[in-house]
Amino acid sequence: MALTRYKIGDLVTLIDERNNLGIKDFYGININKEFMPTVANTEGLDETNYKVVRKNRFVYSGMQTGRDKCIRISMYSNEDLIIVSPAYTTFEIFAQDIVIPTYFFMTFLSKEKDRYGAFCSDGSIRSNLDWDVFCNIELDLPPIGIQQKYVDVYNAMLSNQKCYERGLEDLKLVCDAYIEDLRRKIPCEAIGPYIDAVNEPNSNRAVKHVQGVEASGSFVDTRANMLGVDIAKYTIARNGNFAYNPARINIGSIALYSDDKPCIISPMYQVFKVIKTEKIIPEYLMLWFGRSEFQRYAWYFSAGSVRDIFDFSLMKEVRLPLPDTDLQQDIVNIFNIYNSRKALNERLKTQIKDICPILIKGSIEEARKET
């Protein structure tokens, strides 16, 4: 038979390799099935308890599959070793004569598979897709030769996207180097005199678009359950306003709102704006906030506060070089090019994922024709 059905448990083997190699690159996986540096504070952690991830090894988390409508799984494809939390499950494909690891991963890059995973997790108290349930999921697999044909198409698209991404990071380095050079040449000033807190409550509940701020430094639609929540207590954010989570700014949770239509955010966030744009361009300030050096700065000073938060009084003490606004605008223009290309790169990645279900369907139909 050209198309054969297998349970995942018949194809994989658990791997529990602990970190006795001194690796300190802590990673996690997100709902986009991508590896990302951990946003958790790793200071003082015993890295020997963490799990090692090698090339072609899978990382899986069944937690909250039903809530997120996503099977959180990813395949590591780089040569450099990383480590992940022991809470993750790590495994490899042992039956590579039956399924190519990349093809296996491609089967999970579909909304249909995510919905099925959420359906299978309904029996769990916490909407988790437990490992034994995951292993019972069945896959229809074509012969290796057909799999390889469609894996080659996927890898070619991925290679082109990675090429574009490397050029993107070079552009980011230009921005960072420019700012670092300014820091050495121009005395730094506290931003306190040039910013002011914004406290505009949504008293009449006129604004209903609820957003939050991600660690990536961007506004996103809230994932919180808003049922029964009184949005009159939420704060309005308008074009040109900054918002940040005082307890998470050290991991990048600060963003500049750029939409013409206002949104509302949780009262736990601090909102502020630049009141002297002849001195600071808001986008230039945001560029500074996006630097990893600022995140370390915020972590250091918030750790010294009573509640480990970076309140607005600490924000007003932030110091940075303030060249004339023409030079600030030049730097912002470079960064805007970076952001537009970064957005294009994200669209490319999304398109590749959207094509994967088509490739899987094509491989299955081809296999059926050979039956």
pLDDT in tens, 139-177: 999 999 999 999 999 999 999 999 998 888 888 888 888
CATH of domain 187-322: 3.90.220.20
Looking at the chain, list the stretches that DSSP marks H as alpha helix, in order from N- to C-terminal side. Answer: 65-68, 101-106, 111-120, 131-135, 144-185, 282-289, 292-303, 312-315, 325-369
Q: Average of pLDDT values for 206-234? A: 88
The Cα–Cα gap between 190 and 188 comes to: 7
pLDDT value, residue 322: 94
pLDDT value, residue 125: 65
pLDDT at residue 325 tops 90: yes
pLDDT in tens, 24-66: 999 999 889 999 988 676 777 889 999 999 999 999 999 888 8
The Cα–Cα gap between 91 and 189 comes to: 51
Q: Average of pLDDT values for 301-306? A: 66
Q: Where are the domains of the chain?
A: 4-141, 143-167+324-371, 187-322
On whether the CB atoms of residues 242 and 272 are closer than 8 A, the answer is yes
Query: What's the CATH fold of domain 4-141?
Result: Adenine-n6-DNA-methyltransferase TaqI; Chain A, domain 2 (3.90.220)
Mean of per-residue pLDDT scores for the chain: 91
Half-sphere exposure of 222 (CA within 13 A, CB side): 17
The Cα–Cα gap between 297 and 300 comes to: 5
pLDDT value, residue 179: 83
The Cα–Cα gap between 267 and 361 comes to: 46
pLDDT in tens, 221-249: 887 778 888 899 999 999 999 999 998 88
